Chains A and B, each alone.
Chain A
Amino acid sequence: MPSFPSPRRQFLAGITAELPILLGVIPFGMIYGVVALAAGLTAWQAQAMSAIVFAGSAQFITAQLVGAGAPGLVIILTGGVVNLRHALYSASVAPYIKPLRPLWKWLLGYLLTDEAYAVTITHYYQNTPADPSHEVGPPSVSRHEHWYFLGSGLALWSTWQASTAVGVFLGAVIPESWPLDFAVPLTFIALVVPALRDRASVSAGVIAGVVAVLAVGMPLKLGLIAATIIGIVVGLWVEARA
């Protein structure tokens, strides 16, 4: 029986692996806090959203749409849809944490963000035999790798809460004349442009953008939903043709 790293070691290794990513998360959290106040959220609402939703892009979208006066249902739909990508992460980590007790699954599910997923799945891939016929669950659990997941997830969670708090504080002292609302589209540009790696995703983005512009007169910001659906369909179509 080989000796496995202790839970404590795995936990600390998860935190350490997350550290470089945190450097990029801190400014995002701060900008979110500032933008949320500028959009009209109270300090408490801005801070609470970081715990309740705990997903950067959905939080930015909510702040943006609240500021634009969109109806609640459209905000919920858009914020929910943008987070659907988490189902991919959920499917991908599921086999590794399948043998864990439900409490662990509820906890790790809450911590399953883009950033924690990136670090954790890399760790799982490196430490689990590549043979797909191999039962991946039990060995990774006996190596306490869920503690690694917990370490990276909690490191991200606490950093996100703290940087939001700093942003909320800054937002209260920055002069109102600054065009801070522009930080939202800029943040989205920073997220989306590097992800446009192939023709299909470029088509999805450009078509969705153009439709959103054409549909800007639609009531209740429904143009946003229409544009998203059309963009996804076009992306699938371009991909299928290639």
Chain B
Amino acid sequence: MNLWLVMIAIGLITYATRLSFVLIFGQMEMPHNVRRALRFVPAAVLSAIIFPELLIRDGTLYLSPANEHLLAGLLASLVAGRTKNALLTILTGMSALLLLQALTHQF
């Protein structure tokens, strides 16, 4: 599918979501169960992207201390949990990956 169409579709869905209660369901209370479910959406989607990025290499599970992406990702998670600082998390993870890759290529 054309990338422009994909972007416009996501943009329209997002805009509709933002307008939903402001414009249309103004008088309505959001159903309690929907509200509860929405809370878990970011954690579920983002984790479903993160885990394969760290654990899958060439289509198969790569659970090994030699997996640089996994090590760098775990370190970044630790920094994110401790500091809640996004920039520091990204810089730590990136530096760790570059360092580990440099070491691997060295030996």
Size of the A side of the interface (Cβ < 8 Å), in residues, is 89
Task: Please name all residues of chain A whose beta carbon is closer than 8 Å to the beta carbon of B86 when the two chains form the complex.
Answer: 24, 27-28, 187, 190-191
A211 contacts the other chain (CB 8 A): yes
Which residue in chain A gives the minimum CB-CB distance to B10? A79
A19 contacts the other chain (CB 8 A): no
Give, as a whole number of angstroms, the nearest-CB distance from A92 to chain B. Answer: 8
Give, as a whole number of angstroms, the nearest-CB distance from A214 to chain B. Answer: 9
B103 contacts the other chain (CB 8 A): no
Would you call the interface of chain B mostly helix, strand, loop, or mixed?
A: helix
Which residue in chain B gives the minimum CB-CB distance to A58? B10
Q: Complex formed: what's the CA distance from A235 to B44 in Å?
A: 9
Give, as a whole number of angstroms, the nearest-CB distance from B91 to chain A. Answer: 9
Q: Complex formed: what's the CA distance from A88 to B81 in Å?
A: 25
- List the interface of chain A (C-beta within 8 A of B): 24, 27-28, 31, 41, 45, 48-49, 52-55, 57-58, 61-62, 64, 66, 71-73, 75-76, 78-91, 93-94, 97-98, 102, 105-106, 108-110, 112, 178-179, 182-196, 200-202, 204-206, 208-213, 216-217, 223-224, 227-229, 231-232, 235-236, 239
Q: Can you name 19 A-B residue pairings with CB atoms under 8 Å?
A: A66-B3, A72-B5, A80-B10, A80-B17, A82-B45, A91-B20, A91-B25, A105-B23, A179-B101, A185-B53, A186-B93, A188-B49, A191-B46, A192-B43, A193-B80, A213-B61, A224-B48, A231-B47, A235-B43
